[in-house]
Chain A
Amino acid sequence: MTSSNDPSATSVADDDTARELAQYDGHTFEQLSEYLDRDRTPANPSIDGSPECQIALKGMQRLRKAHRALLDEDVRREVEGGDGWVSSILAHISLEARAGRDIPIEHPSPAARLVVTEGAVRGILRAAGDSLPNIIVGRCGLDGDVTVPGTPITVRVDASIREGENIPATADALRQAVYAALRQHTDLTVAAVDITIRDLYAGVAAAAAPRTESSTDE
């Protein structure tokens, strides 16, 4: 049994809150979600002026849109039964919007210090995946020392695919989208893009039709 008056528990909670506030320029993920609920009114300059908040809000918006599309297809019961995946993706958006490490951009001038933040890159990886039909990106990460130019890195992406979709083909489309986004926006040396399909989510068409394929790709 735990006590709510346990000072160490309070300290841990305070630390967590302080860490979360630091990630979003003084705002919690819950506050950002509420701001989105209010359709960003009244305007909050400290949220609107924070890149980390904007990345998190965009991720939340895309997830809400995908979630709404599922509900619109009258699969509310299936989704309600498995809302854990929404919470899980929200948690990843929360973590990934942090600025993270600085990823260098090359320039011949010795005075140039050009970087793109890891948070911005994770944001485009998620956006690249979410732009594809029938796939929702869960977690993305960059493994390796992204701060040293030329160091090979591995990109990890976890995703959920709509039931009935061809998993290898959809994973390959995601991989190509991720490569393209990284080529466009970074100087990173990408050794591999590892895709893991963690879940299948239900849709009306898939629910009505029998499963035709079951495979994995990683």
Chain B
Amino acid sequence: MSDVLPSEEQLDDLIRAVPGVDELYSSAPLVAAVIATAVDAVTGRSPSAGSVEIAQGKSGLSVSVKIGIVESFAATDVCRRVHDAIAEQLDRSGTGPVDAITVTVARIG
């Protein structure tokens, strides 16, 4: 098992590259998210801070993301592809057992 978990930025880029994903919403508490987004705006960085939640529990690794998708794509397909992309990345990274990969489609179109 690898000691290094995939970074939020890595997973962030991976998820945004899935066809049909047009937004990755923050999984952080509102205040933290607002501060992070404001910093992103000032620095010109694309908003990403706190968009992927990674936690290591007793049963394994948990990853949670909340996405918005383009209406012309099927939400079910995009959601599964996002899951599969994360699962493959975790597998490649050798992070050990995965407890849960949670993908929430929060907006369509």
B83 CB contact (under 8 Å) in A48, A107, A121, A187 = A107
User: Known contacts A49-B25, A185-B74, A186-B75: does B105 contact A115 (CB below 8 Å)?
Assistant: yes
A49 vs B68: C-alpha distance in the bound complex, in angstroms? 10
B102 CB contact (under 8 Å) in A43, A58, A113, A123 = A113
- Complex interface: chain A residues within 8 A of B95 (CB): none
Beyond known contacts A43-B41, A49-B25, A115-B105: 20 more, CB 8 A cutoff:
A45-B34, A45-B40, A45-B41, A49-B34, A51-B25, A51-B66, A51-B68, A105-B75, A105-B76, A111-B100, A111-B101, A113-B101, A114-B102, A116-B76, A117-B104, A117-B106, A121-B108, A123-B107, A124-B108, A127-B109
Which residues of B in the span 43-57 have a Cβ within 8 Å of any Cβ on A? 47
Query: CB-CB contacts of A14-35 with B at 8 A, as 1s and 0s?
Result: 0000000000011000000000
- Chain B: residues with Cβ within 8 Å of the partner, total of 33
Q: Give the secondary structure class of A's interface.
A: mixed
Which residues of A in the span 69-126 have a Cβ within 8 Å of any Cβ on B? 99, 102, 105-107, 109, 111-117, 119-121, 123-124
Q: Decide if B37 is an interface residue (CB 8 Å cutoff).
A: yes
Query: What is the CB-to-nearest-CB distance from B100 to chain A, in angstroms, rounded to a whole number?
Result: 5
A50 vs B26: C-alpha distance in the bound complex, in angstroms? 8
B109 CB contact (under 8 Å) in A26, A99, A124 = A124
Q: Decide if A140 is an interface residue (CB 8 Å cutoff).
A: no
A99 vs B25: C-alpha distance in the bound complex, in angstroms? 13
Determine whether the beta carbon of A117 is less than 8 Å from that of B38. no
- Chain A: residues with Cβ within 8 Å of the partner, total of 36
A112 vs B87: C-alpha distance in the bound complex, in angstroms? 9
Q: Decide if A184 is an interface residue (CB 8 Å cutoff).
A: yes
Determine whether the beta carbon of A45 is less than 8 Å from that of B47. yes
Query: What is the CB-to-nearest-CB distance from B3 to chain A, in angstroms, rounded to a whole number?
Result: 21
User: Known contacts A45-B47, A114-B79: does B37 contact A99 (CB below 8 Å)?
Assistant: no
Which residues of B in the span 9-65 have a Cβ within 8 Å of any Cβ on A? 23, 25-26, 30, 33-34, 37-38, 40-41, 47
